[in-house]
Structures are given as C-alpha cells and as structure tokens.
Amino acid sequence: MRGSRRVLVPALVMGALLLAGGRAEAQKLPEGNSCIECHRGIGDPRVTPPAEKFPQDIHLAKGILCQDCHGGDPTNFDPQGAMNRAKGFIGKPRHQAIPQLCGRCHSDAAYMKRFNPTIRVDQVQEYFSSVHGKRLRAGDQKVATCISCHDVHKIRAIKDQQAWTYPVKVVETCGRCHGDAKYMQGYKIATDVVDKYKQSVHYEALTKKGDLSAPTCNVCHGNHGATPPGVDSVANVCGTCHSLTAEFFNQSPHKKAFAAMGLVPCVTCHNNHDVMKPNDTLVGTDEKAVCVNCHDPASAGYQKAAAIRASLDELRGAVQRAAAILDRAEHAGMEVSQPKFELRGATDALLKTRATVHQFDPAPIRKLSEEGVQIAGKAYEKGVKAMDDLRFRHRGLWVSVGIILVALAGLVLKIREIDQRGG
Amino acid sequence: MQTAASSRRGFVNILMGGGFTAMAAWMLYPVVRFLIPPKSGEPTIASVTVPWKPAELKSNSGRIFKFGSQPGILVKTPAGELRAFAATCTHLNCTVQYREEKQDIWCACHNGIYDLNGKNVSGPPPRPLETYKVNVKAEQVIVSKGA
Amino acid sequence: MGGVPRSVAELLRFANAWVEERIDLSGARELIRHKVVPVHRHTIWYYFGGMTLFLFIIQVMTGILLLLYYRPSAEEAFESVQFIVTEVEFGWLIRSIHSWSANLLVATMMIHLFSVYFTQAYRKPRELTWVSGMCLFGIFLFFGFSGYLLPWNELAYFATKVGTDVAGQVPLVGHLIARILRGGEDVTGATLSRFYGFHVAILPLLTTAILGLHLFLVQKQGMSVPPEIERSGRPIRTMPFVPHFLLRDLVGWLSALAVLGALAAYFPWELGVKADPFAPAPAGIRPEWYFMYMFQTLKYIPAKIGPIDGELVGVLGFGVGGLFLLLVPFLDRKTARGEKSPLFFWIGVGIVTYILVLSLLGYVAPGGK
C-alpha cells in the first residue's frame, strides 16, 4: 500500500538531509501516527519493539512508515479502526509471505528509481532462485527470508557500518543459522563453516586489516541468490580475485587431472571456508605438503614437487637473510632504505613464484627464484657493507676516545703541575 | 742539564701538546672529507633519470624504475605519450605492472586496475596512483615529482 | 727580525711580536692575565656557562657544514638529510653530533640557569647579565624548535603543528604569532623555509649580539660568589683564569666531545619517515624533552577552567613563569638587601621539581600520546 504521499515529500527532504552523513541516525518519529503512538506508548514488551527500533530504520528516513508495509489506518487511534482488515491491515506477515511483501516495492523499478536510480530491483527474483527461496516455496519455516538478513523495523542502509549486511558483519548474520548446529539439525549441511571461516585468512583480512574487498559468505555464495558454488564453478569463484593464480592453474596439467578425478580445484589443497594463509610447506614432498596426497615417490609429479619446493626455499631463505641483516643494520642506526627498496624486487619475485606454483612446472619457478636470489644477494651484500661501516664507526670512535684520553691525560697532569707550582 | 721536575714538565707538555695536535688532525680529517662532494653529486629523489633512452621505449609498454626508495612505472601509451606514476598500489602496496593486452595498469595481488591516467577504475584500490611529471631532454627521460 | 723560527715556541713568539708591533693588545692581555675565578664549594657550577658556549660553537661549526648540503624545501629537505647521512663522507657523524649537541646544549644551559639562580648570581650588579641570559635561553629553545623541523620528517612535522598551535593560544596576538611562525595558516613548505631562515640567520645574529653582551658583562664584572660565602667573611681563594681554570674547562670540553662522538657512533640520530601532511598524525607525537614538561602540563589541564579555555590558562601560566624568571633580580628584594631569601629558594625548588616531574610523566605516563 503506497500510503500518505502528503507525508512522503517533506519526509523525503527530511530523510535526504538526515542521510547526508550516510548513516541512519536515530530519527524523530513523526507525530500523529497511531501505529507508532500506540505501539510505543502501550508499554507491553510484546508490541513495543517495532516502535522502539524504528527510529534507526532507513524506511523511516525515506518517509515510509508502518502503514506502508502493514496497511491499516494510522489516523485512527482506535485499535479496531487502525488495525482494520478493510483498510488493508495485514498484521504480522506469514514467514512465506515476506519476500512478496518486501518485493511490492523493492521489485517495482518505477517506484524504487524515485529513491535511487541505480538500485537493483531483482532481489526477490534472485531470492527464489536460491536454496533459501526454493525451500521457502516448499514450505520450510526455518529458512532465511529478507528479514533474516536485513533485520526488521531497524533496517539500516547498505553503507551503514552497523547494518547486518555490512561486509564485516555478514558472517555473523549468516552464522545466526548456519553456525547453529541445533537450528540446522535436519538439514544436511555442515554447521562448522562459521568457525572455520573465522580462522581463515579472508576473515583476518576483513576484520583485522580492514580490507572490505576480502570475501565473506555472500561474495562466494551470492546474496539473494545464495547457492553453494558447484564443483565446476568453485575455481571461477576463487578466480574472481585470484585471477592470476586461476589462470596458471587452468594452464596446468592439474586442471584436466582434477576434473578427471572429481577433485575440486582450489578447495582440494586450500580448503573452502577455512582458507589459511598458505605456507611454502604446502608444496613439496614432506608430510605437511599436499602434493604427496596424490603423487607417490616414484612419480614424475613427486620429483617436480620436490624441485619446486627447493626453488621456493632457496628464494625465501635468500630474502630472509637479506632482510635480517638489513634490519640489524637499521636497528643499529645505519641508513639502509635504498637496499631495502631494492630487496622489494626479491620479495616481489617471491610473491610471483608462489603464484606461479600453480603452473606446477619447476622451470619457470626456478627462473623466477634465481632472479630473486640474485637481487636478494645484492641487498644482502649492501647489508654486510652497512654492518662493516658500523664497525668502522665504532672503531673510529674508540680511536677518537683514545686520542681524547691522551689529550685529557696531558691536561690533567698539566693542571696538577701548575697547581703544585702554586700558580 | 735537565732536572727531574723539568723533564717531567717537558713530558707533560709533550703529552698535552701531542694529544691536542693528534686531536686536531683526527677531527680535521672527517671535516675535510665531508667538504669534498660525494660521487653521487646531489640528492636524486626530487627527480630521477630513468635508465632508458626515449627511443628504447615502445608504444603500449610500461616499465618499472626506481624513484628514490619507491618504485615508479613509466608508461608509453598506445598513442605514444610518456607518462609516469608511482608504482605502489594504493590498496596494499604491491608493485603494479603494465598490461599490454588490456592497455591498462594492473596490480597482480588483488586484481586492481588503473587506467592510463593512473585513475583506479576497478578492484580494491581506493585511490589513484600518484602522478609524476615526465620530461624528455635529448637522450634522457627525466621523471620528477610535481611541486 | 730574527732568522727562520726553528720550533713551535719560536714561531709563536715571532707571530706574537709581529702583531704587537701593529696592534696594541696590552689591554686585552692584562684583562686575561688578571682574570681570576673564585674557588669555593660551588666553583663547579662555574663550568657550565663555558660548556654551553663550547657546545654552541660545536653547533655553529657542524651547522655550517650541514648547510653546505641541506636543502630547505618541503620537496627536498628530507632527501637532502638522507643524502648527508648516507652518501656524504662522515655526514652521519656531523649530523648526529649536531642533533645530540643541541640536546646537550639545552641541558647544560638549564643547569647553568638554575645554578645561577640558586647561587643568586643575578643580584646586583649582574641583573643585566641575568636578563640577557634569559633572552639567550629563549633564543636557544627557539633554535631547538626551529632546527627540529628541518629534516621534515613525520614526528617533526606534527610536533611543529602542535607547538605552533600552542603558540597560537596566546591571547589577542596568538593567531598573528602562529601565522608569522608558520608563514601561513598551516604548517607547510613555507614554514620550513621560514624556520630555516630563523635557524641559520636570524637567531645566530641575535645570539651574536646578546651573547656578546652576556660574555662582555661576565668578563667586565667577574664571577659572582654565592652570598653565604661572601657573608662568611673568610678570604676567598682564587685561581687564575689562564691557565688554571681554562685547562679545567678544556677537560670538560674534551669529555663532552668524547661523549658526543660516542653518542653519534652508538645512538645515531634517526632519519624517520618523510612528512606527509595528508597522512593522519602518527601515534606518539611528542616534542623534544626540553618542551616535554609544557606538553604534559597542557595534557593535564582540563578543557575548560570556568569560562576560559584550558590551553589558554596553560599558555598564560608558562608566560607568567617565564616572566617571573626573567624579572627575578628585580623581584627578589631580600637578596638585593643582602638577606637570605628562602621564598625564592623554595620557588626555585618548586620550578625544578615541576620540570623534572612533568618531563618524567611525559615519558612514562599511560595514555600519553
């Protein structure tokens, strides 16, 4: 029900001004609206929450009030008159009916464009393509609907850092169901995904490093069309950001081999939810390496794995050695910003080799590694020179102090002498 | 004939005088060396001469060079114009690179893309790349920071 | 004229005679020959003035060497200091000595100031010496403040911002003062150029004049003896300035030189990170230690005291404190009359304690940013 357009325009202006800061600040509730006045004033905790939460809601900011979703007559302060089915009152909507209710506006392009010309209007359609949507249609009462993820009566703007859908908060939002083993009983999906994800390097990037582009649930699974990516498409999902790595993998022999064996690319070695910060130990032939899960010692793959690991170790060692001595020199006060800059070339090479690992071919990796080792070697030498300069300075100091002491000795003796002379 | 006292006095004089002379010379040495200008004539970081001649640079190519203690990228656009930017990605500081096939500047770490004006157009980078001035003098390309 | 001088002593005698034939230096010679220094319990404090002077001379010499390579513009300052420290032979040594000596100089200057205060050497006839000394104190603090900015690193940039902000708190003329200091509304390259001008031209000129006066007065009036020693009536032993006191001075100066060398070799002065006016202020901005007590005091003053801004109260407080010290020879009536002056003694103790405690707190207090 598109109600009260006479409220809409001034409220829009008010809302626009209020939202200028981009956050849904607590707003003043309009006067003379019976829904709000009663639900706020009654004092019964069963009915007051919506009115208490509503000041934070973006709909209020845009001038959309209770009656616009729930129907009824807000000018009538008599409960029977206000909450009148004849006036379109629907009360608390059924679980099944929620997407359509929101969709009444949010799927109406003409209506939504008035508020934001670029806003999408296909969310409900997408939703019904998702597992959640399909199950809802099948009668599932526990499955997520709009309000499960966006909250209700306190729906915040997308850019609002407190919104349930703000990237940092998404895992909490999805986790409300998907991390609750009891709630998910009966569904045949894992419930440890939230815990696993929170251990991951993606979660760390999102929460500790503040990188909002780091993936959270919706980035890989979709928002409204939430579906776990199929075996074939996982690599595409990961490859959206890790494009270079995905390209390497697709050029490598592993692509066909994995497909043949029904192994999921990326996930097989790196997991899906608990993607940890990769370590060079992942590659190679020792027990922690993933290569030996498939390649037995007699195979060519085994040899290649060993060779690749050797190149990585050599480069990493060279970089660490150079970084260590440069740090020592810097700590001692020597100016080593130039060699540190040059070492970046080796660190870049290390980054590149680790991406190139996914070609699973020792030759290009060895080439990159050797280039990096050379650069690191030069930086190391400069570090050695810096430490030598430091020693030179210290030795120079002690000679200076020695000479000064000689002069001091002469002075002190002279002073004693003239004092004795009674000068 | 020298008395014990006068020989001791002489010793003290020599010690003091010698000590002071040694000190003076020891301290004069660093000052003189300081005054002699070092081989790398001046601080080079306000501007850098890149190690390539203008003719060597092909259109639709980009190269990384050292700008002080940071990497820079020198780009020759498909139209033949020389441009230079700081090559440190504004996302998480990886070094960017030029992509011939896309004619853009790309950061391999997280797929950040910049156009040939250094503007961040796609992916995580929050800000454009810092732009440098490029001047071509005879056989030299000189990149400098804008004032 | 004799033949060719055959030893250093002969050479000196020859040079001496050559000058004497042309310029009558007998007055100066007599002054130096007869200059004596009183010897008593508190003689040790006499060395600190000379030590400050010695360190100032070190500053001038190292400063002149540095300005052969330093470039006073926002684009080049940091890089030029980096160049000095990495490329120029012994540049690291000259630069570290300059930075360390600045701090040592302020320390010895403070010791000199308070030893003069507590021995009441400011009393008649030395009031002008005291006033000129207080002026020098202010000048040297400004030397330190202006020099600190010159490497144009992050910490210096923000410390200057905070410092000039505080200066701007002075009532009525504060904003004007801040603009004159900064060369504009904010700390920019204009500030750097200006501070450079202060540091290498204006302040040295002022110092020459006022230090010249200060030293002249000291030579003319001789060293002051603490009142209680004068009052005791005992005859005061003295030692000739040349060579006795001067040689002892030299012991101190050479030791200071050794200390400076050790500091430069083992604790070289940091280069820091180049200032970026657009970056947020880093954690841990603080001024140099000799401003720390003021900085910390301002942190403790509440935002408003009654209707007045807390910072304003702080600035006025410092102003009153400085003015008190400046005028102490004229305020301390008891000492002027030749009586003991316990009030001023305890005020002095209070000031020293305040400076020590607040400085210490500046470094160890939690939440100190």
Which pLDDT does position A286 carry in this prediction? 86
- In whole angstroms, give the CA distance from residue C45 to residue C64: 30
The one-letter amino acid code at A102 reads: C
Q: What residue in C sits closest to B39 (Cα-Cα)?
A: C87
In a domain, C368, yes or no: no
- In whole angstroms, give the CA distance from residue C114 to residue C112: 6
Q: Is residue C125 reached through a cis peptide bond, with omega within 30 degrees of 0 on the bond before it?
A: yes
Sheet holding B140-145, edge to edge: B47-49, B140-145, B131-137, B82-86, B70-76, B61-67
Which pLDDT does position A42 carry in this prediction? 85
Does the distance separating the beta carbons of A393 and C251 come in below 8 Å?
Answer: no
Band of residue C59 on the pLDDT scale cut at 50, 70, 90: very high
In a domain, C337, yes or no: no
Which of A330, A348, A358, A375 is the best residue to mutate to test the B interface, defined by the most B CB atoms within 10 Å of its own CB?
A348
Q: What is the dihedral of CA B23, B24, B25, B26, to 10 degrees?
A: 40
User: B127 to chain A, minimum CA–CA distance in Å?
Assistant: 14
Which pLDDT does position B1 carry in this prediction? 54
More confident call, B4 vs A50: A50
Does the distance separating the beta carbons of A406 and B22 come in below 8 Å?
Answer: yes
Q: Which of C86, C240, C271 sits opposite A423 (nearest CB)?
A: C240
Q: What residue in A sits closest to B124 (Cα-Cα)?
A: A213
Which pLDDT does position C137 carry in this prediction? 96
Within A179-216, residue ranges assigned H as helices are: 193-199, 201-207
Q: Which of C8, C76, C89 sits opposite B38 (nearest CB)?
A: C89
Which pLDDT does position A22 carry in this prediction? 39
In a domain, C100, yes or no: yes
Does the distance separating the beta carbons of A396 and C251 come in below 8 Å?
Answer: no
Instruction: Write out the residue range of the structural domain in which residue C151 sits.
Output: 44-290
Q: Could you tell me if C292 and C362 are in contact, meaning their C-beta atoms sit under 8 angstroms apart? A: yes
Does the distance separating the beta carbons of C68 and B43 come in below 8 Å?
Answer: no
Q: Which residues in chain C have their CB less than 8 angstroms from residue B145's CB? A: 75
Average of per-residue pLDDT values in chain C: 90
Which pLDDT does position B2 carry in this prediction? 59
Average of per-residue pLDDT values in chain A: 87
Does the distance separating the beta carbons of C262 and A414 come in below 8 Å?
Answer: no
DSSP string, B59-107: SSEEEEEEETTEEEEEEE-TTS-EEEEE-B-TTT-PBPEEETTTTEEEE
Give the burial string for A248-274 (b: 16+ CB within 10 Å, else e). bbeebebeeebeeeeebbbbbbbebbb
Q: How large is the average pLDDT for residues C255-263?
A: 95
Q: How large is the average pLDDT for residues B85-111?
A: 87
pTM over 0.80: no
In a domain, C296, yes or no: no
More confident call, A229 vs C25: C25
Does the distance separating the beta carbons of C258 and A337 come in below 8 Å?
Answer: no
Average of per-residue pLDDT values in chain B: 85
In a domain, C363, yes or no: no
Number of structural domains, chain C?
1
Q: Which residues in chain C have their CB less than 8 angstroms from residue A418's CB? A: 243-244, 247
Q: Which residues contact B71 (CB under 8 A, 6 or more apart)?
A: A341, A344, B64, B65, B86, B87, B88, B95
The secondary element (H helix, E strand) that includes residue B135 is strand B131-137
User: Quick one: which of C181, C158, C143, C178 has its CA closest to C274?
Assistant: C158
Q: What residue in C sits closest to A338 (Cα-Cα)?
A: C86
Q: Which residues in chain A have their CB less than 8 angstroms from residue C250's CB? A: 411
In a domain, C79, yes or no: yes
Does the distance separating the beta carbons of A399 and B26 come in below 8 Å?
Answer: yes
Does the distance separating the beta carbons of A423 and C244 come in below 8 Å?
Answer: yes
Does the distance separating the beta carbons of B71 and A407 come in below 8 Å?
Answer: no
The one-letter amino acid code at A393 reads: R
Q: Which residues in chain A have their CB less than 8 angstroms from residue B108's CB? A: 244, 351-352, 355
- In whole angstroms, give the CA distance from residue C104 to residue C52: 8
Within A252-333, residue ranges assigned H as helices are: 253-261, 267-270, 300-331
Band of residue B44 on the pLDDT scale cut at 50, 70, 90: low
Q: Which residues partner with B66 through β-bridges?
A: B71
Q: Are strands B112-114 and B120-122 parallel, antiparallel or unpaired?
A: antiparallel
Q: What is the pLDDT along chain A (423 residues), one digit of tens a residue?
A: 454 555 555 545 544 554 444 344 577 888 888 888 888 888 888 888 888 889 889 999 898 999 899 988 888 888 888 888 888 899 899 999 999 999 999 999 999 999 988 889 999 999 999 989 999 999 999 999 999 999 999 999 888 888 999 999 999 999 999 999 999 998 888 889 999 999 999 999 888 888 777 889 888 888 888 877 776 677 788 888 787 788 889 999 999 999 898 888 888 899 888 999 888 899 988 888 899 988 989 999 999 999 999 999 999 999 999 999 999 998 888 888 889 988 988 888 888 888 889 999 999 999 999 999 999 999 999 999 999 999 999 999 999 999 999 999 999 998 998 888 864
Q: Under the phi-then-psi rule, with left for phi > 0, alpha for psi from -120 to 50, and beta for the rest, what region is A361?
A: beta
Does the distance separating the beta carbons of B123 and A213 come in below 8 Å?
Answer: yes
Which pLDDT does position C301 carry in this prediction? 87
Span of A117-121, C39-43, C202-206, C336-340 with lowest mean pLDDT:
C336-340
- Interface size A-C, in CB pairs within 8 Å, comes to 58
In a domain, C338, yes or no: no
Residue C205's domain is classified under what CATH number?
Answer: 1.20.810.10
CA distances from A281 to A285, A318, B133 (A): 9, 17, 44
Q: Could you tell me if C254 and C147 are in contact, meaning their C-beta atoms sit under 8 angstroms apart? A: no
- Look at the block and give the residue holding tokens 């504060």: C174
User: Quick one: which of A190, A265, A260, A254 has its CA closest to A232?
Assistant: A265
In a domain, C220, yes or no: yes
Q: Which own/partner contact pairs does A143-152 have at CB distance under 8 Å and 24+ positions apart?
A: A144/A177, A145/A95, A145/A98, A145/A99, A146/A98, A146/A99, A146/A102, A147/A98, A148/A173, A148/A176, A148/A177, A149/A173, A149/A174, A152/A50
User: A290 to chain B, minimum CA–CA distance in Å?
Assistant: 23
Band of residue C228 on the pLDDT scale cut at 50, 70, 90: confident
The one-letter amino acid code at B128 reads: P
Q: For chain C, how big is the Rg over CA atoms in Å?
A: 23
If you count them, how many residues does chain B have?
147
